[in-house]
Amino acid sequence: MDKNTRIYVAGHRGLVGSAIVRKLESKGYNNLIYHTHQELDLTDQKAVHDFFEKERPEYVFLAAAKVGGILANSTCPADFIYDNLMIETNVIHAAHKYAVKKLLFLGSSCIYPKFAPQPMKEEYLLTGELEETNEAYAIAKIAGIRLCKHFNQQYETNFMSVMPTNLYGPNDNFDLQTSHVLPALLRKFHEAKINNDSEVVVWGTGKPRREFLHVDDMADACVHLMENFDAKDVGEFVNIGVGEDISIAELADLIREVIGFEGEIRYDTSKPDGTPQKLLDVGRLNNIGWKAKIGLSKGIEKTYKWYTK
């Protein structure tokens, strides 16, 4: 990509999109295109095609999505599958129609079967049942991967897909009703410290294991792939993660330590745990020259500083 090439970042206000914008700007890219949801509704096919016809982006980072944690996914599954399918199909189809040189689609590690062998390799896709609580979101993301694959197959487009592990960092969602586990815990412990509470309640048993990647590392990986590789170089898609996981209980202890909360942690075992373990195999990514740089403790410290500001 040239520094003045026209690059469209879909979802530029979100966790991943904002990190990609920061990374591109830090590398000197100066012709970035983005619109808010109010300016451009990506679920509206005509609006998306009108936008592509007018703006003619050469490269596209498709980071826009309807996202949420266990509660949001399990209570609004129709919204999650519909909105995400519409966003993907509209943007990917328009990218083909208006001859985008390269597109990068962001999926999610929830695409893998609930009981997939650990760590999860790219070839485990569609080898078993999905986790029930986020099945709708996962199916939409799988459809996005296959859209890219089949457009490449039929039209020789250059659309690649990446599967990030659990992400966190600046511009995350800290709403306790819709957020993922790390930002939810960070907010809970922060408010408990401010209110001098005696305990923090954590959903589930604390036993499930999760992998966490700072979103600035994610953005670095995405830009690295766009600058140096084509879809044919990475296969159907490539995992992006750190290759190490941690239990929810260990995560809660780590966040308590970073924030300085001195009370107790109580586990509400009436609440769901979700998938027992989600750890990505990042061998393919490492083999093409990229590894995560930001450690979890340091990443949580950085995120907490951003949150308190």
210 belongs to an annotated ligand binding site: yes
The percent of the chain in helix, strand and coil, each rounded to the nearest 5, is: 45, 15, 40
108 belongs to an annotated ligand binding site: yes
Which residue type, as a one-letter code, is found at position 167?
L
17 belongs to an annotated ligand binding site: yes
Distance CA 181, CA 168 (A): 9
12 belongs to an annotated ligand binding site: yes
299 belongs to an annotated ligand binding site: no
15 belongs to an annotated ligand binding site: yes
307 has catalytic annotation: no
13 belongs to an annotated ligand binding site: yes
Token readout for 168 is: 């966190």
245 belongs to an annotated ligand binding site: no
198 CB-side CA count, 13 A: 0
Find the catalytic residue in 98, 137, 155, 307. 137
81 CB-side CA count, 13 A: 13
Beta-carbon contacts of 242 under 8 Å, excluding residues fewer than 6 positions away, are 165, 211, 212, 213, 217, 282, 292, 296
166 belongs to an annotated ligand binding site: yes
Beta-carbon contacts of 33 under 8 Å, excluding residues fewer than 6 positions away, are 6, 7, 8, 9, 55, 57
Which residues does the annotation place in the binding site for NADP(+)?
A: 11-17, 106-109, 141, 164-167, 180
Which residues does the annotation place in the binding site?
A: 11-17, 106-109, 141, 164-167, 180, 188, 203, 210, 273
- Residues annotated as catalytic are 137
Which residues does the annotation place in the binding site for substrate?
A: 188, 203, 210, 273
